[in-house]
Structure 1
Amino acid sequence: MKKQILLVLFIGCALGCNSNKEEVNIDKAIESEKIIRTIDNWNEGWDKKDVELAISDYSENTDWTNAFGDRMQSKSELRELLKEIFAMDFVMEGTDNYQNEDVQFLTDNYAILRSTNIRKGQKWSDGSVMNDRHIHHLRVYKKVNNKWEIISHMINQAYEKK
């Protein structure tokens, strides 16, 4: 009798360990659109000098680094930096041209977005026009309460290779 009980427990345990959990499959096309729309909020915030709109998709503990090496490790730090940046008129000059928006889902709740922005007509502090800036963004997203939040954002500027 003891052997039969152990056998039943063993079989039950084996079946339980081998049972497949049903994966939740997200609609990647719809979720990609939601993620890419965060670029619109960022750009519109910059165009309007609206800090709250620019950071609306960032998590409270975001980790953000720009092409100049400024690192902010919270939404509140990013807010303060953008207030300073938006006070400088020359920074807002120029037009954006986003390209190569590539969303990859690591899991149903984590994704990365790679994008390139070719910014034309931006000015230096002395008023002279910069060469076109080829700016690369890598954003990491976490889905929280059905909303994609940016938990990390790395900005890099590439220079022409000779």
Structure 2
Amino acid sequence: MNLHLDPASRVHLSAQDQQAIARTLGSLQQGFTARDAQRLTGVYSDDADWVNAFGSRKRGGPEIVAYLRGLFADANFNAGTLVADPEITLRVLNAETVTVSGHLRIRGQRLLTGGVIEERDNHSIRVLQRHADGRWLIVSEMYMDANREQSYAGHS
């Protein structure tokens, strides 16, 4: 995982908090890489909100993990391969909250209607919050794919 600290982060986190965040993000990456939803147990808070790039919405760790268990078993999803390691940027908002922005590209994911998504240019944003027991859990996560069509001439 290529993790970068956003220069806008002005709050220093303790080594213990940094390790807890790394554990959560590591479990997330390992779960997706291995297609093992069990590794995602304990990554999401009980009231987490989650939205994928296709508009599926889930609420709470158990519901999110159950959905991902099905997704990881899906041949269409598994046909996709990463083009490169994800780019991850951590921004510390305060001593209790961080955001994690991600960017990855995936080739070859198949569609239910047939055909293949040539390349997904996927962006994500996660909000992690420190809990009373010291764990940093994902409380909000949203994925989106870049739309290559333009509606504004100033788009870059």
TM interval, short-chain normalised:
0.7 to 0.9
- 2:143 is aligned to 155
Q: In structure 2, do the counterparts of structure 1 residues 148 and 94 end up closer, same or farther at CA, with 3 Å as the change threshold?
A: same
Q: In structure 2, do the counterparts of structure 1 residues 88 and 100 end up closer, same or farther at CA, with 3 Å as the change threshold?
A: closer
**1:134-156 deviation line (CA, Å, top 9, x unaligned):** 11110000012222110000111
Code of the aligned partner of 1:56: G
Code of the aligned partner of 1:141: L
Q: Percent of aligned positions with the same letter in both sequences? A: 26
Give 2:66's match in structure 1, choosing from 72, 80, 86: 80
CA contact (8 A) 2:20 2:134 kept: no
Structure 1 runs of 4+ aligned residues shifted over 4 Å read none
- Aligned counterparts of 2:20 and 2:103: Cα–Cα separation in 1: 18
Structure 1 residues 24-43: aligned runs within 5 Å = 25-27=12-14, 31=18, 34-35=20-21, 38-43=24-29
CA contact (8 A) 1:98 1:116 kept: no
Across the two proteins, how many residue pairs are aligned to each other?
137
Answer with 64-73 or 119-128: which moved more.
119-128
**Is the helix fraction higher in 1 or 2?**
1
1:92 Cα deviation (Å)?
1.2
- Aligned counterparts of 1:103 and 1:84: Cα–Cα separation in 2: 29
Gaps of 5+ in 1: 1-23
Answer with 55-64 or 39-48: which moved more.
39-48
CA contact (8 A) 1:43 1:54 kept: no
Gaps of 5+ in 2: 1-10, 151-156
Answer with 37-46 or 102-111: which moved more.
37-46
Matched, 1:108 2:95: yes
1:81 Cα deviation (Å)?
1.4
1:83 Cα deviation (Å)?
2.7
- 1:67 is aligned to 53
**Is the strand fraction higher in 1 or 2?**
2
- Cα-Cα RMSD: 2.6
**1:26-65 deviation line (CA, Å, top 9, x unaligned):** 248x72x753554442232234332121343111111111
TM, length-normalised to structure 1: 0.71
Higher relative contact order (CA 8 A, sep 6+): 2
- Aligned counterparts of 2:81 and 2:26: Cα–Cα separation in 1: 13
Code of the aligned partner of 1:109: E
CA contact (8 A) 2:129 2:136 kept: yes
Code of the aligned partner of 1:74: G
Q: Could you say which structure has the larger radius of gyration?
A: 1
Matched, 1:131 2:118: yes
- Aligned counterparts of 2:43 and 2:72: Cα–Cα separation in 1: 18
